[in-house]
Amino acid sequence: MVEVKVKGGTIKGISDGQIDSFLGIPYAQPFNTASRFKHSQLNHGIGNSNIDARKVQSIPPQPYNALEDFFSTQQNGFNSFIQNENCLYLNIWRKSCSNKIKPVVVYFYGGGFTQGHGTAELYNPYHIVEKEDIIVITFNYRLGALGFLDWSALNPQFDYNNGLSDQMNALKWVHHYIEYFGGDPNNVTLMGQSAGSMSIHALMQVPELDTYYHKVMLLSGALFNETKENAQLKANQFSTLINTYYPGKSLESLTHEDILHLMDLHESERGKSRSLDLIYRPIQSSIMTRTIDDFPKPVFMNFTSSEGDIYIENESRTLSPSRFVEVMKLYDIEISKNHAQTAQQQRELITQYYFKEPTIDLLQHIHTPHKWLARFDWCHPNSTHFKTAYHILDIVFWFGHLDILTTNQYDIIKSDIDLSQRMISDLAYFARYSEMPWSPYQRDTQFTFIYK
């Protein structure tokens, strides 16, 4: 066991002699029947209390996540976690017996804003912290309708962007308390993948948060902003479903199981989309006053060479050409049905228009010269599960979880280990020095570093 004194209180964690970990620290106040539809409130109540942070706590309510079980060395890993609306916990990993003030990385998980949590095996940063003397933090934020439906359209006493408020409070907690763990509150990196990256993109537009972080790493995700009008339309659809399927229930009496059921109905009503229709996502709000052009902090962005392959795995998983065109139009992407006939065409269009072009566009708009771009190309065409560099595969390497590849019938070779070590080293270098150890991205040269 390891203990950290925090403003008169104590947080107890676990240690294996090399790495200390503090699991399930409550960063926000618990919810009641009404506050569950509102912005979370920062938990200041650490002084004069003892927090037992030696075991994983509840994760956000969400549907079954097959990807989490695939990217795991455990059987039934996802179902081993308890789901509860009181899920706003964070986890801290650091080297044992190191007195240096450490850079801090806060990781935002992906999952389409409907799935994911900070204690998934894939996001355990043990190997990062083992190799580099930095602190890594993961955390939970509310998902789906609970996190990103516009509840204010159903009741003016309620809020929208509730999941975003959770993320903001996690950053505030880190700012106030990470120095007690040896972290530097003046050197905090936000790192996120997919929906986690899109979340950071949203927070970059909120200048009042500038105190709480100092650079960003955006992996495979630039945000398509949700307008308030479109968010209200979705909220009205959700309200109609509540009245149809739960006519005798108030909003406050809906269980999280009810809400997951309504989310499933909502998705069915809107039509098949292979998770491309991000029904619940951050909504444009009055606090997002900064354009991305004026974002002043260092930025690193990365995408994979075959992002779309995870969405359309084969011909049996394609959308009809007309439906594919409809889904792309949701994000103002105009394509011809003739170009979306096959699985390969749809995969390439997703990679190009959902990931590559938005990434390049974001970098082109940011005026700061402190920006870097990389592409992840690693794959093995003769393997069973890793034939292309698809969406999320790079996270295995960023976090050093090559054992997940082994679990899925792939034999690791030295170059795989070297690549993961290089990526972890680059991550830590960026966290320490606010730059990558290679040329920055420029509008004219468009230098792209390749991980392969």
Rounded Cα–Cα distance for residues 434 and 427 (Å): 10
Alpha-carbon dihedral of residues 126, 90, 221, 366, nearest 10 degrees? -100
Rounded Cα–Cα distance for residues 447 and 439 (Å): 7
Q: Which neighbouring-strand residues pair with 136?
A: 93, 105
Residue 85 CA: distances (Å) to CA of 35, 75, 139, 143, 188: 11, 25, 14, 10, 28
Q: Which of 152, 163, 137, 149 is nearest to 39 (CA)?
A: 163
Contact 310, 355 (CB under 8 A): no
DSSP string, 13-62: EEE-SSEEEEEEEE-BPPP-TTGGGS---B--TTTT-EEE-BS---B---
In this structure, which amino acid lies at residue 107? Answer: Y
Could you tell me what percentage of the chain is helix, strand and coil, using 3-state DSSP and rounding each to the nearest 5?
Answer: 40, 20, 45
| Catalytic sites, residue numbers | 194
Q: Which residues of 245-351 form beta strands (DSSP E)?
A: 299-304
Rounded Cα–Cα distance for residues 194 and 110 (Å): 5
Q: Which run of H or of E encompasses 184?
A: strand 183-193
Buried b (16+ CB within 10 A) or exposed e, 388-402: bbbbbbbbbbbbbbb
Phi, psi of 11 (to 5 degrees): -115, 120
Q: Is residue 225 helix, strand or coil?
A: coil
